[in-house]
Structure 1
Amino acid sequence: MTATGPRQKTLALVRSRRRTAQDRHRAQRPIVILFSDDSTLIFARRMREVLQAADPDCLIEMVWFTDESALSYRQITQLLPQGPDRVLGGKQLVSLMCDPSVRAILTSRIYRAMLRPLNSPVARWSGNRPCILSFLGGLDFFPAQGFARRRNCDAVYLFPRSALADYAQQVGQSTQGWQEIGFGHPSVMRAKAPPADLADRRDIYFFTQALSPSTLRGRLHMLRVMAAIAKANPERRVFIKLRHLPSENRQHLHLEKYDYPGLMAQLGPLPPNLLLTDITMEEALETAALGITCTSTAAMDLLRAGLPCMVYLDFVDAYRDPLVPPMRKMFQGSGVITSTEDLLNLKPGALNPQWLEDMFCPDDLGTRVLETLDRFHARDFQIRRDLPSS
């Protein structure tokens, strides 16, 4: 047993005081989570939930960045009924990035206003400022540009696990200053067990995506497939889960060219159990027995919830859709890519556990993020310890 001398007692006291000061520091300085549209707001809500699960006393502010906003009133009242804690424009966001009273800024998108401060060595190397931590926006089929925009963030969290090596290879030594790379995303956390009532559920959801299928023929094909499923299963409800209403998000980054409500009106009489819905993803997952999608991040939500998922990539004009090849590559070996025959017969494949392990992060994400923030704010002490003694 090691004796405890005066030096050990002093070090223990210093560590204890440091932890106490660190706890007070956490409570006093908020973590800001940015959002500007439905996707980033969903990220912000889930990130808040993950952080609060790790530390219930964590102070979090939901901040609406309006310079690149594409939110409708319906969406913000549905997803954030209490409203944002702050509303910021570009200049205010730049000021926030050097505000010593803020502990961190978390974002799933690198906004244009953020680029200049991120690329400024003076701004990056200033000591008493928030940690800028960026996640991916979701499934990133073309990550090279996203990697480049994040190269000067203080921390970057990526998925799947293989993306960490890809990021290191692409960014390499171009990052100057402190940076930490982590694995995970609040929407892609380790899958849960199937719901206890799964065998009794009847609802089927087709989760639409703004850009894919990209052609009119492809979208009509998906509607006819859903109508065929509804007709063959009159005891089930088949929902077409809309990403947004036709009148919404006209300035959205991903603008929908052919909306499903308009296309359904063109097809004439459809089975009465083929329905449209604009409920939230969380609400859909509460009753879904099975989820179908083409290239949507909804596939990850379904798998995370322990629900059967079918990714269908053989729709009409799929060869013209730029999102199909990367989706096929990303889900290769997953077991969830389905054929037309299996889709019509509602026969999902068996999920590959190894693929799941590479894609989904452990449920300690909130704790790891908070530890990253602690290491960022302690980085000046690390630098001092590395300096040669005089």
Structure 2
Amino acid sequence: MSTDAAGSRRPCVVAIADTDSYVKWAAALLGGVGERWDASLLVFETPLVVSDAQLASALSGSGLSRDRVERIDYRRLVARLTELRVDAVVIGARGPLVRVLARDLMALPQRPVVVTGLPGISIPATRKAVVYRLQCDLFVVHSRREVREFGALSARTGYAHRYALATLPFARGARVAGRSGAAAEEGGGDLVFAAQAKVPAERGDRLSVARLLVRAAEADPSRRVVLKLRAGSGEHQTHAELDCYPELLASLGPLPPNLVTSVAPMRKALSTAQGLVTVSSTAAIEAIARGIPVIALDTFGVSPELINETLADADLLAGEEDVVARRFRHPDPEWLDDNYFHVPEADDWTDEVEALVAQRAAGRLPRRRDHPRRGGRLRDAWERKIALGRSDTSGAGAVAYAVGQPARTVVRLANRVRRLVGPGAQQPGPAGSSAHERSTSAVRTSTTRTS
């Protein structure tokens, strides 16, 4: 048991996270509370769990020391939480896993407060993000705009949630530059490209990015172009990456010697950066926080699927020629307060957690219901098996998977056929064009940008 200077017991708050982005987020989120709580992190074993190198990278600069972190598997989780006498659990994971763990925690006789959140830019607010997390008591978001948009989504759908505001951990201590760039810290000459697993999604688009990096390196051999990767060979990411940039670059033939790859922590990569290029990575927020200018690549348009609408609103969009010429941009100052750079005093997530912990201690914390679903316990076992993969060794999970996997294939096939033959079915576009190509021009013409 930990106590504060006055001898009072500090709340015991434990984060559970598995993948690279969520481990980095959870460690930095709890690392920022200082001595206010007895905080620790359980790295949860799933097929996508971080490697030791990824864990070290995530903890670097987080404020959470390595001795406050341990790895744990599903079978030992409840027992360990009981040993720690947890008051609150922060679940940092993909939606399906949050649902499974929140359901388990909700079933405990003296269940903890259950907190969740998303590890970066979360605009647009999505129905799935909310539904998967319905059994959580508190949903942490990172900007005034996200509070507003998630609240509006809950109002429209009836999926009630309690939202709280926390400064994005990677934006703490911001030294944001306006368009003058006056606040930019001394860095280096690197053009850093923040790779993402799913954005852009099409192989052809990702190959275009790879060619752009080569062009940028060839344009100025005296300065580096750094491809900042989320994972090294054999390591996993939060999202599966089908067409990784190192392989795409290798297909282009001999590369300029000043085009290099890095799996170092983003904070280290930015320490030698002249500017950052991305499509929509949260690394843009991290760079802005350090006064480093950014280009949000506009080659693929602006859309919810690209997760770049908020960067467009910041007036950070620029084209490939701007990347090659290194014409980086600083955000519109009017964008900052509503988007990740509000004053620290506006944060209320720690107060909200402590209010819920007090309700729990008084026996007044209500149990939250999950989204209604068909299938009962077999459905629960299926969802657990899908979320945990080989980490779920239960017989019920094996049975549910054997029954559910063929059924899901049939349902998906039926839905695909229904979309193809039903009213309003999408007509094929010009020969040789992809769905992305056919939609890009419409996206570009319909999107507006604030200045």
Return the TM-score normalized by structure 1: 0.76
- Structure 2 residue aligned with 1:347, among 324, 327, 338? 327
Q: CA deviation at 1:368?
A: 3.4
Q: Is the 8 A contact 2:170 2:285 kept in 1?
A: yes
- Tell me the percent identity: 23
* Residue number in structure 2 paired with 1:387: none
> Does 2:266 match 1:278?
no
* Residue number in structure 2 paired with 1:245: 232
> Does 2:377 match 1:377?
no
- Structure 2 residue aligned with 1:209, among 177, 180, 196? 196
Q: CA deviation at 1:335?
A: 1.4
- Structure 2 residue aligned with 1:75, among 54, 57, 66? 54
Q: CA deviation at 1:118?
A: 4.2
- Decide which moves more: 277-286 or 134-143: 134-143
- Structure 2 residue aligned with 1:65, among 23, 44, 47? 44
Q: Aligned partners of 2:254 and 2:106: how far apart in 1?
A: 64
- Decide which moves more: 31-40 or 153-162: 153-162
Q: CA deviation at 1:148?
A: 1.6
Give the match's secondary structure for 2:201. coil
* Residue number in structure 2 paired with 1:14: none
Q: Extract unaligned runs of 5+ from structure 1.
A: 1-18, 385-390
* Residue number in structure 2 paired with 1:133: 115
Q: CA deviation at 1:47?
A: 1.3
- Decide which moves more: 342-351 or 188-197: 188-197
Q: Matches of residues 164-313 of structure 1 in structure 2 within 5 Å? A: 164-172=147-155, 180-184=162-166, 185-189=168-172, 191-193=174-176, 198=185, 201-249=188-236, 252-313=237-298
Q: Is the 8 A contact 2:95 2:132 kept in 1?
A: no
* Residue number in structure 2 paired with 1:102: 86
Q: Is the 8 A contact 1:293 1:311 kept in 2?
A: yes
Q: Is the 8 A contact 2:298 2:317 kept in 1?
A: yes
Q: Matches of residues 2-17 of structure 1 in structure 2 within 5 Å? A: none
Q: Extract unaligned runs of 5+ from structure 2.
A: 61-65, 365-451
Q: Aligned partners of 1:110 and 1:209: how far apart in 2?
A: 16
Q: CA deviation at 1:91?
A: 4.7
Q: Aligned partners of 1:79 and 1:351: how far apart in 2?
A: 26
Q: Aligned partners of 1:342 and 1:77: how far apart in 2?
A: 34
> Does 2:318 match 1:335?
no
Give the match's secondary structure for 2:226. strand
Q: CA deviation at 1:240?
A: 0.9
* Residue number in structure 1 paired with 2:99: 115
Name the amino acid aligned to 2:54. Answer: Q
* Residue number in structure 2 paired with 1:89: 73
Cα 1:117/1:281, change in 2 over 3 Å: closer
Q: CA deviation at 1:379?
A: 2.4
Q: CA deviation at 1:307?
A: 0.8
Give the match's secondary structure for 1:323. helix
Q: Aligned partners of 1:291 and 1:305: how far apart in 2?
A: 11
Cα 1:365/1:99, change in 2 over 3 Å: farther
Write the deviation string for residues 263-303 of structure 1: whole angstroms up to 9, x where unpaired.
22222222221111111111112211101011222112111
Q: Is the 8 A contact 2:48 2:238 kept in 1?
A: no
Name the amino acid aligned to 2:269. Answer: A
Q: Aligned partners of 2:6 and 2:128: how far apart in 1?
A: 36
Give the match's secondary structure for 1:162. helix
Q: Aligned partners of 1:224 and 1:382: how far apart in 2?
A: 60
Q: CA deviation at 1:204?
A: 1.4
Cα 1:365/1:281, change in 2 over 3 Å: farther
The RMSD of aligned alpha carbons is 3.6
Q: Is the 8 A contact 2:20 2:238 kept in 1?
A: no
Give the match's secondary structure for 2:251. helix
- Structure 2 residue aligned with 1:44, among 15, 26, 42? 26
* Residue number in structure 1 paired with 2:144: 161
* Residue number in structure 2 paired with 1:360: 340
Cα 1:182/1:96, change in 2 over 3 Å: farther
